Amino acid sequence: MPDLLLAGAALGLWLLAYAACRVATRPVPPAALPATMDLGPEPPAVAGLLVNDGSTHAGTAGSTLLDLAAAGYYELRQPDADPHGTTIHLAGEHPDEGGLRPYERQVLARVRELAVDGVVPLTALTFRDDNESRTWNSRLRAAVVADARAAGLSQRRFGPTMMTALYLGALAVGVVCGLVAVHQTHLRWTFLVSLTVAAVLAGLVQRIGERATPAGSEATARWLGVRSWLRNHQQFAELPPSAVAIWDRYLAYGAALGVTRQASDVLDLGAGVRRNLWSTYHGGCRRIRVRYPRGRPWYGSGTPALFLQALLVVLAGTLVLIVAGPAGWYSLPGYVLLTGGAYLLIRTLVDRTRSVTITGRVLALHLRRAQDSPRVSHLVIDDGTADETTAWALPHEWGDRCRQGDVVTIAVRPWSRRVIAVSAHAPADPGPRPSAGPDSELTGPLVTDVFGEVRHVRAGPLPVSVEDVARFVGQPVRVERRPQRVDFRSELDDTTVLRAAWADGTAGRIAWRANARGVATPLPGIGDEAYASGNRVVMRVGDTTLVLTALGGGRMGAPHLPWLLSRCERDALTRT
């Protein structure tokens, strides 16, 4: 018994020291700066790492994918109102990759690997194998962490001195446990217990995560201000991935900061989409992180099944004590089983006597695999109180009482997380519908524009004439109208050769800010102000911003884009 007490005391002291280190180094988010639209120098993936308390999340890969599109490595095209139909079109001439970071090259390599003739559906980037997804995303996140550390923005949560002390402590605990095992069994090979214990404790230290440096805290406060500014624009959450053509890097940063619900739903480069869901319950748009319990035999079990589990554990412990005797090393498993059975029995009794009522929106209803449990499903509910939740176990007899999107009230048993009653209050929201008014009298289909709004196509004057575009590309073109956007398509091969997109008000100011910075070249004498950058030109007329982008075969005429921009009619732009 003294040997066991010695091993337990050593392990307990180490765990106390580990807990103290966690408390001393817990991430404390800085106070957010005032809402601002000024982007910092950090890439979207690093900005997301800082805002999420040093942990990477589902938006890391998606935000990098959007950032590469904003940089011109490929284009995102949405052929209809469904953003899930978005396709990626690789640039004909590969841009210089010398300045790309390792994780950006990794995302670009994934796109090129799956592309056929330079085109790949956006949804095809999702991994179909869980192990492949985990390996790929782990490598991506490790590269993001390394980039943040190299920039002096992030550091390991435990410093070198603290980690060394914990590693040495883990080794000491392992040695003590190994000596106790040898002393009790008189078998030398049981000293391997020390290696096992030391490895488990060292693993806890290794996976502790990141925390921001002082410079990282300053950057975090700034990015929290950017997130607040983006959240103030309700339509931003509904932007599709193709809106990167106008919003430029703002959309990428929105995905990294957890603001773009629509784009992030489509941009899934992992197999774990069930763990990151979006909710609009109680207003706003929030990403909800979902945990699915594993290794809990009591999860979702009813009271009879829990009592049976407790009885079997107690019987197993009793049999071990009868065979091994009440004293000695071999009796330890028996005492452990008896303690576990007693704990299970007490928790079952307490769980039986109390229930909790929760009201919220159903985010997901997943049928569990047969080998896990054929009797319950995973029910994910957002009650509006936190951005993290754990799935409830819904018996199949209650499965027809609710569906995704419903607002329901459920009665649950907290410990076993079993749902015992369901009542629905409101059916699933069928989504926005076009309201009657001026737009209802417009001709053309109902489509989603580059700003995420569902509208009818307006038949107004074009900001640039078809004749000028035909002269620009050297071939006849036809017009394909969309709200606040016009695609000029070649009549020879039906490919888009030029895209004209415009916006006014706040959206126009954002589009101007996004496109008239960096290496853009001023174009004097055009509109109120104009710039050129690569295959894109931008012009501001009053509060309206127009962007012309040469695509496909139209790229050959990119040097003549300033001439085409100069031909745009100011009156047509303001009346379109």
Query: Does the pLDDT at position 442 exceed 60?
Result: no
Mean pLDDT of 561-569: 81
Q: Give the E-state strand segments of 441-566 in sequence order.
A: 446-448, 454-456, 477-482, 485-490, 496-504, 521-522, 529-533, 536-541, 544-550
Report yes or no: 520 and 531 within 8 Å, Cβ to Cβ: yes
What confidence tens digit (pLDDT) does each residue in 506-529 have?
Answer: 667 777 776 665 556 888 878 788
Q: Considering the chain, what percentage of its residues have pLDDT values greater than 70? A: 81
Nearest to 28 by CA among 220, 258, 253, 160: 220
At 268 the pLDDT is: 67
Helix (H, G, I), strand (E, B) or coil at 519: coil
pLDDT at 266 over 60: yes
Confidence of residue 286 (pLDDT cuts 50, 70, 90): low
Give residue for tokens 């209803």.
365
Helices in 25-129 by DSSP H: which ranges? 44-51, 59-70, 102-114
Strands of the sheet containing 529-533, edge to edge, are 477-482, 485-490, 496-504, 544-550, 536-541, 529-533, 521-522
- Calculate mean pLDDT across residues 340-365: 87
pLDDT digits (tens, 9 = 90+) for 83-109: 877 888 887 666 677 788 999 999 999
Q: What are 419's two structure tokens?
A: 């749902």
The pair of structure tokens assigned to 389 is: 């939740």
Predicted TM-score (pTM) above 0.85: no
Q: CB neighbours of 25 closer than 8 A, spacing ≥ 6?
A: 157, 158, 162, 211
Amino acid at 347: R
43 falls in which pLDDT band (50, 70, 90)? Answer: very high
Identify the band that residue 16 occupies on the pLDDT scale cut at 50, 70 and 90.
very high
pLDDT at residue 89, rounded to an integer: 87
- CA–CA distance, 498 with 491 (Å, rounded to integer): 13
Instruction: Kindly state the average pLDDT of the residues 41-48.
Output: 90
Q: At 129, phi and psi to the nearest 5?
A: -115, 125
Which among 364, 408, 391, 385 has a CA at the least distance from the CA of 290? 391
- Say yes or no to pLDDT of 443 above 80: no
pLDDT digits (tens, 9 = 90+) for 189-246: 767 878 888 888 888 887 777 888 899 899 999 999 998 888 877 677 778 888 887 7
In this predicted structure, what is the pLDDT of residue 179?
83
Return the exposure string of 231-251: e unless at least 16 CB atoms fall within 10 Å of the residue's CB, then b: bebeebbbbbbbbbbbbbbbb
What is the structure's pLDDT at 13?
92
Length of the chain, in residues: 576
Task: Quote the pLDDT of residue 218.
Answer: 92
Q: How confident is the model at residue 407 (pLDDT cuts 50, 70, 90)?
A: confident
Distance CA 374, CA 372 (A): 7
**Who has greater pLDDT, 547 or 442?**
547
Average pLDDT, the chain: 78
